Amino acid sequence: MRAPASNASNASAGALGKCTMATFIVLLGPPGAGKGTQAKRISGILGLPHVSTGDLFRENLADHTALGVEAGEYINKGQLVPDSLTIAMVEERLTRSDCAPGALLDGFPRTLAQAEAFDEMLEKSFNSKVFCVPCIEVDPDLLVERLSDRLVCRNGHVFHLRFSPPKKAGVCDLCGEPLYQREDDKAETVTKRIEVYNVQTAPLIQYYEDRRLLRKINGDQDIEAVTQDILSVLNEANAVNLTGTKIAQKGNGIE
């Protein structure tokens, strides 16, 4: 299977022929593992859209949509949003044209029911399957530290007070918006989210191991080293970019 084209590279996609399948990569890992941080970097390199269910829910929350209001009741308590709402939201997102070549999923699937629904969605709508599941593993003690000092802006850019500080305190380097703490990053909610992960999401590790798709990634390294390890497993999974060249391991221009 080939990794897909970015929209900007459709001419190259054509050159690869019609057999190119849409490529769906699932980033798995507990809250604070670095899924969002890595998804932004990897999606830029691969030219695949970054589909984060957490970000989609937060956008709906900010816009006060009915979905956002309902989801917010679960998110702020550290619980999962019900499968039916989540699956419908992802299904709608994947119908948009930018997902024609595939997508990098961050935070979805998160339950066995979601994983099965996702497999069906890919089969039915894309005649495709999950391509690879890098699972970012981090010492549980570090997760709380990562989340309690995380800062985000309203456009979903992520910083950390110590590990990845913004150049100017309180201001997003990328869009200039103010930085703030996510409501669900308060200590008691973080603990709940980690518990929910262990009970409801961790079974997906076995689900994807059974399908030989899971690749464990050491998330206790600096951000660039984690990116390189993810690129390595994608390369091993034969994720080549649109031009047919292997994903660059070095000098990929990501800061």
Using CB under 6 A, count the residues that bind ligand AP5: 37
- The contact mask relative to Mg ion for 35-54 (x = CB under 5 A, - = no) is -x------------------
- In single-letter form, the type of residue at position 35 comes to K
Does position 72 interact with ligand AP5 (CB under 6 A)? The reply is no
- Note if 211 is an active site residue: no
Give the Å distances, CA to CA, from 102 to 50, 77, 161.
10, 32, 33
Distance CA 127, CA 108 (A): 19
Measured from each CB, the residue nearest to ligand AP5 is 54
Q: Is the dihedral of CA 122, 128, 129, 131 positive or negative?
A: negative
Which of 40, 41, 58, 193 is labelled catalytic? 193
Q: Compute the least distance from the CB of residue 120 to ligand AP5, in Å.
A: 16
Distance linking the first and last C-alpha atoms of the chain: 29
Tell which positions 137-166 bind ligand AP5, by CB under 6 A.
Answer: 146-147, 150, 158-160, 163-164
- Note if 193 is an active site residue: yes
Tell which positions 201-240 bind ligand AP5, by CB under 6 A.
Answer: 219, 221-223, 226
| Nearest CB to Mg ion, comparing residues 4 and 36 | 36
A 10 A CB-CB count for 216 gives 16
Closest CA to 58 of 75, 41, 43: 75
Q: How many CA atoms lie within 13 A of 171 on its CB side?
A: 6
Distance CA 102, CA 113 (A): 21
Distance CA 72, CA 49 (A): 24
| Nearest CB to ligand AP5, comparing residues 147 and 214 | 147
Q: Which residues bind Mg ion (CB under 5 A)?
A: 36
Q: Which residues bind ligand AP5 (CB under 6 A)?
A: 29, 31-37, 53-54, 57, 74-75, 78-81, 86, 107-108, 110, 114, 146-147, 150, 158-160, 163-164, 184, 193, 219, 221-223, 226
Active-site residue set: 35, 110, 150, 182, 193
